[in-house]
Amino acid sequence: MSADATSRRTTRRRRSRRYNPDGSMTLIEHVYDFRRRLLYALLVVVAGGTIGFLWFGTGVGPVPALGDVIKGPYCDIPQEARLDTGDGCQLLQTAPFEAFMIQLKVGIAAGMVLTGPLWLYQIWAFLAPGLYQWERKYARIFVCVASLLFALGAALALVIVPLALGVLVGFGGDTFMTALRGQEYISFILALLVIFGISFELPLLIVMLNKVGVVQYAQLKRWRRGIIAGLFVFAAFVTPTDPFSMIALACALTGLFELAIQLARMHDRKLERQRVAEGFDGLADDEAAPFTYTPTSSAGEDAAEQPGSDSPSGGRTDDVT
């Protein structure tokens, strides 16, 4: 076997969980792993963008074409308020290659959504070796819930867009006729989807801060009115100048914030019961905590069971060190 083949085999073994369960690597191996994961993620995004680009103008069975889905809210504008070219509902192209760039932009965005689990896995695979087991557990939950909340926010935006457009283009009465440019319209739709999707991550952020002890239920309860008022101000700033999208986003965020407060309440009550059961509740600042600590080895085994040494730790470094 050649030296190159042996080197590649050794590298694959170091990446394998079977031969390297803790994922330990040198600094240069981390750099190579980052480059490899980034390349895989980009290839996945390019493949998804290609699928989205082709899907833009072609439907697949009962699934309509992506272009029809995107221009749906525009086509829902009353026909008497929309420019009728005689060929149905169409957007305007006012620059060379504008339609191509729109199709490319929408295709890449749709491809990133479709292939999200694949490129997110590459990010996860790069970060996971540096996390403890409990951190990996919370990271998985965070990614899954964040993806679900973003999808719910984007879905709400798609419901609100027709109402928002109806209000925005209704100003001026019969003085104006609506004929939207494709670039501006698509940018408006994508921006609204991103705004609603990211805004829906707020309750998850509050729950995670409560989990790590940064905020408590008592604080959130005192701040409730101010935070709710801030949510309405935030919704007014980030949404278009129409009441429907602002009220929908503000009410949705308020409901999710209330849910986050109740989750924080249950979490704090659980911690309080644990403190009482372990005898930590009511201790003075200068009073010793009633627990017994037994050092363990770096492998996680009981120190008393480590052979080969007369010392209690068996000649190994305990967890504190």
The string of DSSP letters for 116-153 reads: HHHHHHHHHHHHGGGS-HHHHHHHHHHHHHHHHHHHHH
In the chain, count of helices (H) and strands (E)? 12, 0
Could you list the mean pLDDT of each consecutive 10-residue stretch along the chain, which spans 321 residues? 59 57 70 88 90 84 81 76 69 80 86 81 77 73 82 84 74 68 82 85 86 85 90 84 78 90 89 75 64 56 44 43 39
pLDDT at 39: 93
Contact present, 84 and 180 (Cβ < 8 Å): no
Q: In Å, what is the CA distance from 237 to each residue of 67, 205, 250, 253? A: 29, 20, 11, 14
Q: Decide if 104 contacts 89 (C-beta within 8 A).
A: no
Q: What pLDDT score does 43 carry?
A: 93
